[in-house]
A and B are shown apart, each in its own frame.
Chain A
Amino acid sequence: MKHIISVLVENKFGSLNRVAAMFSARGFNLESISIGETEDTEISRMTIVTRGEDQIISQVLKQLNRLVDTIKVTDLTRQPHVERELLLMTLKLSKPVQHEIFELINVFKGKVVDIKQKSITIEVIGSPDKINTTIDIFKPYGIKELARSGAVAIHRGE
């Protein structure tokens, strides 16, 4: 089962490496990892997407907690949370399909961030599932390049 884990870590060099290295050393699956400073500049928030059975996930959470730079570990999977990912994608642009592409961008509530004679770069924000669908739908039009941010997530407010 897919799990989304939020980890507060000391904002120090090597913190990301410690977490990523722990995943590879212990053979845990790591689908995505993203990290950024929080409102407290000494603390970063990491969002980790992983998969595994309950026993594995319980080990993942404990091993994360065991790292000295880790301040707090929360498995958001079964709690109310918001999860988002950013997609930047450059597509081939040609006259015959131009309209279809613009319509689809609207359907996915995307934004055009750059446009040239033969290419268009769009941004789409949504859950990782939505991002997957977006990529699938645009694939036939010719994707030149794409970049995904990996998921970030946070508890829903009270």
Chain B
Amino acid sequence: MHSSGQTLNGSEIFFECLRRENVEYIFGYPGGSLLKVYETLYDVEDIQHILVRHEQGATHMAEGYARATGKPGVVLVTSGPGATNTVTGIANAYMDSSPMVVFTGQVPSSLIGNDAFQEADIVGITRPITKHNFLVKDVKELAITIRKAFFLATNGRPGPVLVDMPKDILNASCVFQWPETVDIRGFKPTLKCHINQVQKAAHKIAKAKRPLLYIGGGVISAEASEELRKFAIQQNIPVTMTLQGLGAFPGNHPLSLGMLGMHGTYWANRAVNACDLLIAVGARFDDRVTGKVETFAPQAYKIHNDIDPTNVDKNIKVDLPIVGDAKHFLSSLIEEMPDAFENRESWLAQINQWREECPLTYTSDDNTLKTEFVIDEVSKQTKGNAVVVTDVGQHQMWTSQFYTFINPRSIITSGGLGTMGYGLPAAIGAAFGIKDRPVVLFCGDGGIMMNIQELVTAVHGKVPIKIFLINNSFLGMVRQWQELFHKEKYSFTDLGDSNPDFVKVAEAFGCKALKADNPATAREAIKEALAWNEGPVLVDFRVIKKDMVFPMVPAGGSISDMLLERLNPKTMV
């Protein structure tokens, strides 16, 4: 450890700053512009560098780590292609508000703009997908820039920040000064909610007969799950969650309605449709949640708490906007609530009736394996205690339906961007952050191929993730839409003939692999995988090809368009 006042070179300053930001892991890949950094890294012992096999993998790992721990994920890649390969991962973290700091090497300052070897204008490229980004132009600016980057990534609405470091800056020396404080005059997020607005909300909530809490990932980012639990139970208000909000409220509690939206539960969507008061906390009225905005929660007075003012009145006009941190909002709401409030028993009874009317079920027989069964079984065997990572598609939606999330930071999934290939690296990153709970990945046979190279990272690092490959030989979600809305023309979604033998692939990487094609073997394979902690394990679940996720509200549709089974829209209102 170096101290302020010492003369250090840029690379030494870089690691000194990471140390002071309490960075445990760097997910990185070396290259020409970073040679000096990797030279310094060779002797760094207190920060672990995880060597990925593709820079996209590094970004998803960093995000998986961030979402599992709440701490910012750190990425280190070289200039040019190293930097451009991070773009999808950065965009993903931006959409899902995950704290992340990406360090890119850059060609020497004197060559910038000359189309130099491995040059890319990564600051220009990532401007619209980062919370902010920097090009360091002087070694004296390096420490304060890194300090600002971590500050921005983790304060207010979290997000990715990129720092571009030219090669000459990393070689140059200066007197190291660690800035104890950081002040950015253009960045002053509103954390405390306006108390008058909170009082108004409390008043409305007390009088509501059919209130509903609509909870997003912001509650988890703000570490406000305890406050939410306390508030909902005290006021007897049912809770529905977005994909990113799952786990904010225990899924096994009677007040939990599970997820709302396109593939949300029947009763959650009916509750949205019927509620007279909607309290949105840390959620952004995403199109996958609202469907047609004109018919979303049509009878409800809408209260919206979000830390980002741009989320307010963006997709839907609300009646009572409250900008501020979700933890502050919920804790002040608890304080401001009057003692007396409406009895909600008939409202809850109504919701329970919907729950019984159309529960989440699946049929099962001894010879065929269904994804729903696999997820349900994993949920039971892990008792809802796993950190569950998913890729994107049908298995992701079934995970939201059949895995019972009890604790916050239990689901790690690509929500906003919907990035296939996210799951495997995100699971590896999560497992570096969380060692006392099993890390389980559900991934399709399409998505796993998009970052399969990271299996090496898992094997080499002996990362004990459970890769539950949901293999239906199809791009299942696209296939579902083709079946429902595109004349059953299964255009380029059948992977059956071209898929590799995933057990052999895993074994070639040095990964333990199992296979299951019926409920009995699946149950055993899950048990065996959960017990294996020497390194990663992959289970190739050969599930049926033609299976669809229901309920489904077609894109842009209303709750009344909800499909409960194949081509049988149930008219509701």
Residues of A in contact with B (beta carbons under 8 Å apart): 9-10, 13-14, 17-18, 21-22, 25, 55, 58-59, 62-63, 65-71
Contacts and interface: CB of A to CB of B under 8 A. Distances in A.
24 contacts: A9-B186, A10-B186, A13-B135, A14-B124, A14-B135, A17-B124, A21-B127, A21-B128, A55-B313, A55-B317, A58-B313, A59-B313, A62-B309, A62-B310, A63-B310, A66-B308, A66-B309, A66-B310, A68-B132, A68-B152, A68-B184, A68-B186, A68-B187, A71-B186
Interface of B: 123-124, 127-128, 131-132, 135, 152, 184-187, 308-310, 312-314, 317
Contacts of A18: 127
By Cβ-Cβ distance, the 7 closest A-B pairs, closest first, are A68-B132, A62-B310, A25-B128, A62-B309, A70-B186, A68-B187, A71-B186
Contacts of A69: 132, 186
Contacts of B185: 71
A68 B313 contact: no
A59 B312 CA distance: 9
B127 A68 contact: no
Contacts, number: 40
B104 to A, nearest CB: 15
Contacts of A14: 123-124, 127, 135
Contacts of B186: 9-10, 67-71
Nearest to A13: B135
Contact of B309 (A9, A55, A65): A65
Contacts of A67: 186
Nearest to A65: B309
B314 A59 contact: yes
A10 B148 CA distance: 15
Nearest to A8: B186
B97 to A, nearest CB: 13
Nearest to B133: A14
Give the most central of A25, A63, A66: most B CB within 10 Å.
Answer: A66
Give the most central of B124, B128, B308, B312: most A CB within 10 Å.
Answer: B128
B314 A68 contact: no
Nearest to A68: B132
Contacts of A62: 309-310, 312
Contacts of B317: 55
Give the most central of B131, B186, B308, B309: most A CB within 10 Å.
Answer: B186
A2 to B, nearest CB: 21
Contacts of B127: 14, 17-18, 21
Contacts of A58: 313
Contacts of B310: 59, 62-63, 66
Given A62-B310, A66-B310, A68-B152, 11 more contacts: A14-B123, A14-B127, A21-B127, A21-B128, A22-B128, A55-B313, A59-B310, A59-B314, A66-B309, A69-B132, A70-B186
Contacts of A70: 186
Nearest to A10: B186
Give the most central of B132, B184, B185: most A CB within 10 Å.
Answer: B185
Contacts of B152: 68
A59 B321 CA distance: 14
A1 to B, nearest CB: 17
Contacts of A65: 309
Contacts of A63: 310
Contacts of A68: 131-132, 152, 184, 186-187
Nearest to B123: A14
Contacts of B132: 68-69
A9 B124 CA distance: 18
A66 B186 CA distance: 8
A85 B136 CA distance: 36
Nearest to B184: A68
A9 to B, nearest CB: 8
A17 B152 CA distance: 20
A121 to B, nearest CB: 34
Contacts of B187: 68
A59 B311 CA distance: 9
Contacts of A21: 127-128
A10 B135 CA distance: 15
Contacts of B308: 66
A126 B184 CA distance: 37
B96 to A, nearest CB: 17
Contacts of B313: 55, 58-59
A54 to B, nearest CB: 10
Contacts of B314: 59
A17 B121 CA distance: 13
